[in-house]
Each structure stands twice: as C-alpha cells, then as structure tokens.
Amino acid sequence: MTREQEIKAAIVVTPDAISFASPEMNQASEMAAEQLGKLVDWIQSKFPFLLRHEAVFFAAAIIEAMPTLLEQNPEAIHSLQHDALMMASRR
C-alpha cells in the first residue's frame, strides 16, 4: 500500500463529520474559536504571568466549570433560556 493509500484508508467519514462540514457549523465553529481567543486574551490581561498555551488551558477549565456555575444562578439560566428561544425562533 502506498503512503497516499494509507492516508486515505485512515480517513473515516462519520455522520458527525459530514454535518460538521455544513456552512452553519463552519460559521459557528469560527465564531466559537474567535470568542475563545478573546477569552484567552482576557485571561492573559488578568493573569499576565500565564503563557499563551497556559491561558488556553485555563480557558478550557473555565468552560468546563460553566455549567456548574450557571446552575447556581437561576437568573442567568433564565436569561440564557430566553436567548436560546430567541435564537431558535429565527430559524
């Protein structure tokens, strides 16, 4: 088997990968990446002693903690639910 054939054989297409290729998912992924970059910038402004990759890990930890933090704040959940319903109504 040639190297090219090995690479092609290693590529697996799943329904998730196909849906990820949609214009909507591409746009959403770009926006999420942009916002993550802004969060990392903010983290570095507050904690300038962190290296960039450390600030990215720190951002991941913040994102991981978000559901628990939000569940402790019913007003925030209510506001997010309203925003989500508004977004869904624009389909």
- Predicted structure pTM score: 0.71
- What count of other Cβ atoms lies within 10 Å of the Cβ of residue 44? 18
CB-side exposure of 24: number of CA atoms within 13 Å?
A: 3
Place of tokens 């983290």: 43
Q: What pLDDT, on the 0 to 100 scale, is given for residue 18?
A: 61
Q: What pLDDT, on the 0 to 100 scale, is given for residue 2?
A: 78
Q: Which pLDDT tens digits describe the chain residue by residue (91 residues)?
A: 677 777 666 666 666 666 556 788 888 889 999 999 999 999 999 999 999 999 999 999 999 999 999 999 999 999 999 999 999 999 9
Instruction: State both tokens at 30.
Output: 């770009």
Q: What pLDDT, on the 0 to 100 scale, is given for residue 84?
A: 97
Nearest to 1 by CA among 9, 45, 83: 9
